[in-house]
Amino acid sequence: MKVVIIKYNAGNIMSVEYGLRRLGIDPILTNDYETIKSADKVIFPGVGEASTTMEYLRARGLDTLIYNLKQPVLGICLGMQLMCSYSEEGDTKCIGIFDEPVKRFIPVPPHKNPAGYWLKVPHMGWNNLHGVTGDIFDESLEGEYVYFVHSYYVPVGNDTIAKTEYINTFSAALQKANFYATQFHPEKSGPVGEQILKRFLAI
């Protein structure tokens, strides 16, 4: 199976490569148009800033390529956000696979939080999933914990297949046709994350 990780100007891509190698997959890290197009599975991960990253993708035609892929595609963290329609980060038009906006978390001070402490941004650390559905989850993952690091979020919408609560309820994962996406990092989420990656690779 030919698994490609899209290489672009984003951080954290290597952690996905290491995560796949732990599963016995030898992925190809590339920004080559034909190599990506011919892959069996494509993974679009990353940590970074939306506007400069979209400029990078557009300059190389990668935004159009990703939009038109027919094989299973998994976006992770920034990858998920860039697969949406628009991001408040840098007032950015994104790829538009998911017809959802990306919004910035607004911190909640202690006097507005019933628990009496700051809900800070970024949302960082372990949080649980609920309302899981779709092809990369099953009911055994309801309530399981996964690892997040993000300051922007996708509201719950028609393509939401898992939700998480932090400051408000947001989409932990999305699915539309052959496109899948997680706001959390499956490669950093232990056995639960491995199970999600395995289910994606088995599609």
Which domains does the chain possess? 3-202 (3.40.50.880)
Q: Note the residue count of the chain.
A: 203
pLDDT value, residue 198: 96
Task: Single out the catalytic residue among 89, 100, 144, 187.
Answer: 187
> pLDDT 10s digit of each residue in the chain, 203 long?
999 999 988 777 889 999 999 999 999 999 999 999 999 999 999 888 999 999 999 999 999 999 999 999 999 999 999 999 999 999 999 999 999 999 999 999 888 888 788 899 999 999 999 999 999 999 999 999 999 999 999 999 999 999 999 999 999 999 999 999 999 999 999 999 999 999 999 99
Token pair, residue 58, equals 């557009």
**pLDDT value at residue 1:** 94
Residue 9's pLDDT is: 82
Residue range 182-199, pLDDT digits in tens: 999 999 999 999 999 999
Percent pLDDT > 70 in the chain is 100
Please report the pLDDT score of residue 111 as a whole number: 86
Q: Which of 77, 89, 123, 150 is catalytic?
A: 77
Distance CA 20, CA 58 (A): 27
Put simply, whether the predicted model's pTM sits higher than 0.75 gets the answer yes
Q: Identify the burial level of 53 via C-beta atoms within 10 angstroms of its C-beta, where 0-12 means exposed, 13-18 middle and 19 or more buried.
A: buried
For residue 155, how many other CB atoms are within 10 A of its CB?
Answer: 14
Task: Answer yes or no: 185 catalytic.
Answer: yes
187 counts as catalytic: yes
Tens digits of per-residue pLDDT, 23-51?
Answer: 999 999 999 999 999 999 999 998 889 99
**Half-sphere exposure (Cβ direction) of 62: Cα atoms closer than 13 Å:** 23
Among 94, 100, 150, 185, the active-site one is 185
Give the pLDDT score at 117: 85
pLDDT score recorded for residue 97:
98
Structure tokens at 83: 């697969």
Phi, psi for residue 201 in degrees, rounded to 5: -65, -25
Residue 47 is predicted with a pLDDT of 86
